[in-house]
Amino acid sequence: MTAKRDARPVKWDYYEVPASDVNPFEIYSWCPTPKPTVPPTQVHLHLPPIGHGRGVIRFKSPRTLDQLIAALQEHRRDVWGEPTEEDLERAKGLLRTIEGDK
């Protein structure tokens, strides 16, 4: 699932994610009604400010979200190896923090 590199020159705006327990991303379950009276239909990943503003990635199907998760896990293993139990517990703590901020 690794993307092929494009040889054309591209100007990229990079954001360095700090190596800390601070989560620079915001993740929401999105509901199509002003008040959540129906089940959510999308997952929104809000990115930190990059370049000229903030980015939002909208996942409108579980398939596309699963593809991103699988690619991130593959590259995580490639760069840093398999997560340890400590890594997994730390991730659960971040998830609880995110959910508590809703």
Provide, rounded to the nearest whole percent, the portion of the chain with pLDDT above 70: 63
Instruction: State CA 91 to chain mean position distance.
Output: 13
In angstroms and rounded to an integer, the radius of gyration of the C-alpha atoms of the chain is: 16
CA 101 to each of CA 30, 66, 95: distance values in angstroms, whole numbers, following the listed order: 15, 24, 10
Residue with tokens 């199907």: 61
Q: For position 20, what pLDDT does the model report?
A: 65
Residue 15 belongs to a domain: no
What 3-state DSSP class applies to 22? coil
- Asked if residue 19 belongs to a domain, the reply is no
**pTM for the full model?**
0.60
How many domains, in total, are found in the chain? 1
Whether residue 34 is contained in a domain is answered as yes
CA 48 to chain centre: 11
Query: Would 14 be classed as within a structural domain?
Result: no
Q: Which domain holds residue 67?
A: 26-100
